[in-house]
Amino acid sequence: MRSMLSLGPGGPETLVLTRQSMSQPGPGQVLLRVRAAGVNFPDTLIIRDLYQVKPPRPFAPGGEVSGEIAAIGEDVSGFVVGDRVLALTGHGGYSTHVIAEATRTVRIPDQMPFDEAACFLFTYETSHHALKDRAQLRQGETLLVLGAAGGVGAAAVELGKAAGARVIAAVSSPEKAEFCRDLGADEIIIYPREMNRDAQKQFSDQIKSLTGGEGVDVVYDAVGGDYAEPALRALAWKGRFLVVGFPAGIPRIPLNLTLLKGCQIMGVFWGAAVRREPEGHAENVAELFSLYAGGRIKPRICARYPLERAGKALALLQDRKVLGKVVLTVD
């Protein structure tokens, strides 16, 4: 088997294509022949030792894959060799083959291509868990999505519309704005790449002006940094602020704002929710497949790269140049 390995902490350019011996699945595991691997922001962190999980080296990044079951370990039921599946692997997905826990492997619909399957659960279930389980977004509410053109942001826009919310997409360029209009966003805000105090106030005022001064009910923050505080200031009374990611840095929030607005700041750690709440995870997966079958959601893939160009794919994501999703295709 071939893998793009991280041999030491570093950026995308440090990944090395390496041949390895094939592993066999143990009890409760399956071996997958990988056909596609999703490229996600945590992959840029895990190779730098900046993620919550630090696998022993050498390891391949890649927490989300699709492919066919090549072998089945003991105590596994419900699968046969050849089944088309997607799997959450944590890491190891940038490979031609990977071992996955059977409990984190899901059979995919016949009409779902491998590239869409490989970038389905991580983004859509993160956003579904955030909007449904954490914020309990309701029909008629207003949702603000920061970083709306990225993978999880685009999923949040689609799922917000599917839930009957009014969606405001906040992005950093006209190109990303047009992408979000195509997703169905009701309103667009283009914010500057450098957010000083004046720009923060202007950003907050823009949000409030789109809600008649009332503020938004839910903020989905997949950006962090200096963008978080002005979005929090634009929350409505008893609003909910979802903490999803920090590509712009970890923000410092004045907590007096939570008192003044009676609002909640909610962490969204989907990976932990999958482990701790497997029944809720299974329910959410079924709901997402139903939305996909009904044409309500569909992964937007902006670029596909072969396995050996995984570094290029990660660099594109790291530089915040992605509209939707990037996928590795594995021959």
pLDDT digits (tens, 9 = 90+) for 309-325: 999 999 988 887 789 89
In this predicted model, what pLDDT tens digit does every residue of 300-309 receive, in sequence order?
A: 999 999 999 9
* Paired strand residues for 99: 31
CA-based end-to-end distance of the chain:
11
Of residues 194 and 228, the one with the higher pLDDT is 228
Show me where the domains of the chain are located: 2-120+300-329, 123-271
In this predicted model, what pLDDT tens digit does every residue of 241-255 receive, in sequence order?
A: 999 999 899 999 999
Q: Do domains 2-120+300-329 and 123-271 have the same CATH topology?
A: no
pLDDT of residue 317: 86
Alpha-carbon distance of 28 to 125, in angstroms, equals 23
Name which of 328, 304, 12, 324 is nearest 175 in CA terms: 324
Please state the length of the chain. Answer: 331
The domain made up of 2-120+300-329 has a fold known as: Quinone Oxidoreductase; Chain A, domain 1 (3.90.180)
- Kindly report the backbone phi and psi dihedral angles of residue 82, in degrees, each rounded to the nearest multiple of 5, phi listed first: 100, -10
For residue 112, what are the CA distances in angstroms to 121, 125, 131, 285, 316?
A: 13, 17, 24, 14, 25
The reported pTM is 0.91
pLDDT of residue 322: 83
- What is the pLDDT averaged over residues 272-293? 94
Confidence band, pLDDT 50/70/90 cuts, at residue 41:
confident
CA torsion angle 143 144 147 151 (round to 10): 0
pLDDT of residue 231: 98
- Kindly report the backbone phi and psi dihedral angles of residue 123, in degrees, each rounded to the nearest multiple of 5, phi listed first: -80, -50
Confidence band, pLDDT 50/70/90 cuts, at residue 212:
very high
Confidence band, pLDDT 50/70/90 cuts, at residue 52:
confident
Percent pLDDT > 70 in the chain is 100
Class of domain 123-271: alpha beta
pLDDT of residue 321: 76
- What is the pLDDT averaged over residues 159-164? 98
Confidence band, pLDDT 50/70/90 cuts, at residue 12:
very high
- What is the pLDDT averaged over residues 176-199? 95
pLDDT of residue 319: 81
- What is the pLDDT averaged over residues 29-50? 95
Q: Where are the beta strands (DSSP E) in the chain?
A: 2-6, 15-19, 29-39, 64-72, 84-88, 97-101, 105-107, 142-146, 166-171, 187-190, 216-221, 235-243, 264-267, 301-306, 325-329
Q: Quick check: 194 pLDDT over 90? A: no
Which residues in 153-172 are b (16+ Cβ under 10 Å) and which e?
Answer: bbbbbbbbbbbebbbbbbbb
* Paired strand residues for 30: 72, 100
- Kindly report the backbone phi and psi dihedral angles of residue 88, in degrees, each rounded to the nearest multiple of 5, phi listed first: -100, 115
- What is the pLDDT averaged over residues 172-179? 95
